Structure 1
């Protein structure tokens, strides 16, 4: 099966939410907004085009790292598999674009970030106001090199 891989640059449009599937796999979901820009020679400035929204889903280790690393409004670069979903509600058809994330990172053209290798920490999921730890199954940290 052919998969459509995309790279999208945009801003986090909703707070990331994490839950655990029935099989115990953590997944973090958020919306990403991307707006095209073009130079308008008549005005002598940049003009915003239409805004597209994507639902981004990150699974397993990436889910926990995304939840701990990103927040509303932050600029991101997301790479993953594009899926177009069709739904019907009240006799109307709707299409949504989803990205199953392979990689997520801050857009360093618009700011700075510092990388911290993650330790094996559980993903915390809120359910009815209570917190419960679920295994996030992140990879063990690499040993510190000895000089």
Structure 2
């Protein structure tokens, strides 16, 4: 099976939500934001570029550990499978970008 694996560095942009499926499987998710930084030679300063937003979904032990380890605003590194879910809502086409996380950790280059 071909998978699109990604690693994304950014900040937790929402409270981590936690639930269990009907079968009792833990699941947690949060929104993540990653803003590109680039050097503007004209001004000689670093400037912010576009922000990418994704929903991070974690299952089982990763979900359980995520709830007690990560808070809104934390710098994180997330690695997992990229998914784009599409649907129609009242004749409008919608899409959401998700990372089905395999690994989530604090980005220690930007915090403790």
Corresponding residue for residue 16 of structure 2: 16
Q: Which residue of 2 aligns with 1:26?
A: 26
Q: Which residue of structure 2 lines up, in the alignment, with residue 108 of structure 1?
A: 108
Is 1:55 the equivalent of 2:55? yes
Using the alignment, how far apart are the partners of 2:64 and 2:75 within structure 1? 18
Structure 1 partner of 2:74: 74
Deviates more, 1:87-96 or 1:33-42: 87-96
| SS of corresponding position for 1:35 | strand
**Once the 2 structures are TM-superposed, how far is the Cα of residue 95 of structure 1 from its aligned partner?**
1.6
The two structures have a TM-score, normalised by structure 2, of: 0.97
Identify unmatched segments of 5+ residues in structure 2: none
Match for residue 40 of structure 2? 40
> Which gives a bigger RCO, structure 1 or 2 (Cα 8 Å, sep 6+)?
2
Secondary structure at 2:61's aligned position in 1? helix
* CA RMSD across the alignment: 0.7
Aligned residues between the structures: 112
Deviation at 1:94, TM superposition (A): 1.5
**Structure 1 unaligned runs (5+)?**
113-147
Q: Return the offset for 1:83.
A: 0.3
Please state whether the residue corresponding to 1:109 is helix, strand or coil: coil
- TM-score, normalisation: structure 1: 0.74
